[in-house]
Structure 1
Amino acid sequence: MEELLENLSSVSVTYSHNSVVKPHPKYSEFKRRSKEESQEVRRQELLKEQKRRRSERFDASRDLEAIFSKTRRPHRSIAKDKYKMMHSEWLVDVPTDMSSKWKMLLCPEGKHVLVIAVHGRTKLMDRRRQEVRSFSSVLPGGSPECPHELTVLDGIWVAREKTLYVLDMLCWAHHDVVDCEAEFRLFWLECKFKEMPEMADREANQGLRFRRLETHPCEPGTVEAAMSRFPPFPGGGPTLDGVLFYHLEAGYAMGRTTPLVGWLKGYMVPDLLGVPVAAGHLGGRPPGLSLRDHIQAEEKLMHRRRQRNRKERVRADKMECEQGGASADASEDAMDQQEDAVTEKDPSQSCQPTGVDSIVESAVSSQLMTS
């Protein structure tokens, strides 16, 4: 024992490069890329990856493998179930090419839906792939006159107006445009609305109508002019929910969150872009000194509302089971009021980003710590 103590007495604690009492020299690099990588870097990487995938799909569509192997693969029809919503990120830094490569859309408060016209019916599907409404429309595939077509649009359903505000296009008459750039999709959508004015006719769409959301260049003067109008939509219209920013080279990222589509609430625009907005757009602004504070406040509010709405749905289902089912002859006006209430209580049904706490934390930590 004495020999052991004598040997240990010669051992000294050092603070060398690999000391156990100091952080590991490689610890600072652990997950450094995901924590400090800005939205701008991820945008450039995503654009490169998008071009690579588009090139691969183009080669695959040419069926070169079948040509050289002399065997042809069976043709696969486009399935409506493959289409999923694209989700935006909070815009936490100003892109370097904002004025030349981006466009903005003012989004009304409503329910974010996919419009799927196929088999002679037009259905509105929410984020959970639940049917919101079914009707006959003039869209290709949306009426018994053309049941063999397929059209898929991305839009916002405002129930109290019975109006579908169209954001984007995924497929038109079996022509898939998911891999096309946003600039082309938005241009083609505009052309289709000009070719088919009956889309805005309620009588042709069983009391509903389609309206295309206007796009604006992201130049400071244009942004200021668009945000200075209040109310933002013609004829009063719905209230403003937020602003979507589209990169013109972005494809439609089905089922994914992409930094090539940004989202801001109306009151956040002055903080990030330095552009004044109408006083009416500043309503609901939470107390905070930075954009990060505003985003965190929105995330917390949305989380609380989702929890409350989930509890109310469980309570309603339980009451319905106890009463033997709800009455099936409820009027359409009552259904529309219920949809409006759900959208108001559950902002996750709107275009606002959901489940992006880690994205906000990683992106904001490197971009907004000095704000």
Structure 2
Amino acid sequence: MEDHTTDEEKFHSDNSIKSNFFQYYKNNSKTSNLTLQQRRETFLNAHKEKHSSAFDERRDLSELFEEYDCTSDETEGELMEVEKSPRRKKIRFRVSMSEWFTQIPDDLSDKWLVKFCPVGKRRLIISNMGKTKCFNKFGQKLFHFISSLPGGSRKYTKKGGLSVLDCIFNEKTNTFFILDMLVWNSVSFLDCEAELRHCWMRSRFLENPEEFTPYGKNSYTFKFLSEYPADIETIRSEMWLYETKNEVICDGLIFYHRESPYISGLNPLITWLKPFMLPEVLNIDVPQEYDKKRPSNYINLKSYLMNISEKRKRRSQMELMETEESPRN
């Protein structure tokens, strides 16, 4: 997925965003000795016991996505793509962020699904009260438009309520590719398993295609990203067939644990790989055009992630120095 942020921050976990289950999988004193597989199991068991996050405990779904005027301090250091306005709008809810695929799950073939993601930018789409609003992954409002989604225009306001979709926006094709469904027509799917969310969204897309077509001239198309069983042969086959089925180049693969709920922020039950990493991690050859996208200084995934960590540290240090030298302090 293309973005103005650095390549490594496009889709996977962002350390500035923490879910309500952060303590269950973050490498702290309680979990530092656990493997990634064990952390995932701990996370999933904790969710099943709690059965809902702090976000889900609210009765009114609209409160989860309520807008507020954010301050300059809240936007400092974040990607500023918001519409030009002295009062920037923001929501506290965040898209579910993945971890890097650093270990192959023992139950990859049986318990995981995979989606092939086109190049684009991560977006959260919220339709309600006759408007469809687009937010970036930090929760900042970018723009609004009218759509055919439930509640997305005045015409469909009476027919539908709040709907929230996790998407990838490809600017060249003016298309939102649907990754996940959080809410549909005021029915929450946040606490449902990923397999159910994807299955329900797919059936909705096939049975009611008119709800995903552009509404008027200044609107956008919505397309559903199909999910596949995450076994090696299926991944290999779909990777080689991708170009024949899609007009937008593949930016990466996102893996979902079938039982994963939708968590605002970091989620260890969602992982991410770039296509050029498939030969190394899963022993899957890729078309030459993807192999060429491997950075010239790339050695392996471990060193790649170490470089990312070092870059973040340097950036944080520079931001801290700039803050200390600011005339405001």
TM-score normalised by structure 2 residue count: 0.71
Instruction: Name the counterpart of 1:166.
Output: 178
Instruction: Name the counterpart of 2:50.
Output: 53
How far 1:213 sits from its partner (Å)?
Answer: 0.7
1:179 aligns with 2:176: no
Bigger Cα Rg? 1
Structure 2 CA distance, aligned partners of 1:240 and 1:90? 17
- 1:306-364 per-position Cα deviation (integer Å, ceiling 9, x unaligned): 999x9xxxxxxxxxxxxxxxxxxxxxxxxxxxxxxxxxxxxxxxxxxxxxxxxxxxxxx
How far 1:128 sits from its partner (Å)?
Answer: 2.6
How far 1:179 sits from its partner (Å)?
Answer: 0.4
Structure 1 CA distance, aligned partners of 2:103 and 2:305? 13
Structure 1 CA distance, aligned partners of 2:282 and 2:218? 42
Instruction: Name the counterpart of 1:192.
Output: 204
Structure 2 CA distance, aligned partners of 1:111 and 1:296? 24
How far 1:91 sits from its partner (Å)?
Answer: 1.0
**Residue 146 of structure 1 aligns to a residue in which SS?**
helix
> What amino acid does structure 2 have at the position aligned with 1:45?
T
**Residue 296 of structure 1 aligns to a residue in which SS?**
helix
Change (3 A) 1:209 1:51: same
Structure 1 CA distance, aligned partners of 2:155 and 2:45? 42
> What amino acid does structure 2 have at the position aligned with 1:210?
F
Aligned 8 A contact 1:229 1:278 in 2: no
Alignment partner of 1:222 out of 234, 245, 249: 234
Instruction: Name the counterpart of 1:27.
Output: none
**Residue 145 of structure 1 aligns to a residue in which SS?**
helix
- 1:260-303 per-position Cα deviation (integer Å, ceiling 9, x unaligned): 00001111111111111111221331334432023334566789
Instruction: Name the counterpart of 2:262.
Output: 252
How far 1:126 sits from its partner (Å)?
Answer: 0.4
Aligned 8 A contact 2:149 2:212 in 1: no
Aligned 8 A contact 2:176 2:221 in 1: yes
Alignment partner of 1:127 out of 123, 128, 137: 137
**Residue 164 of structure 1 aligns to a residue in which SS?**
strand
Instruction: Name the counterpart of 1:93.
Output: 103
Alignment partner of 1:37 out of 34, 50, 54: 34
> What amino acid does structure 2 have at the position aligned with 1:265?
K
How far 1:108 sits from its partner (Å)?
Answer: 1.2
Instruction: Name the counterpart of 1:16.
Output: none
Change (3 A) 1:302 1:187: farther
How far 1:169 sits from its partner (Å)?
Answer: 0.4
Structure 1 CA distance, aligned partners of 2:202 and 2:258? 15
TM-score normalised by structure 1 residue count: 0.64
Structure 1 CA distance, aligned partners of 2:181 and 2:192? 10
Instruction: Name the counterpart of 2:304.
Output: 294
Change (3 A) 1:265 1:122: same
Structure 2 CA distance, aligned partners of 1:95 and 1:192? 30
**Residue 124 of structure 1 aligns to a residue in which SS?**
strand
Instruction: Name the counterpart of 1:65.
Output: none
Change (3 A) 1:37 1:118: same
> What amino acid does structure 1 have at the position aligned with 2:236?
E
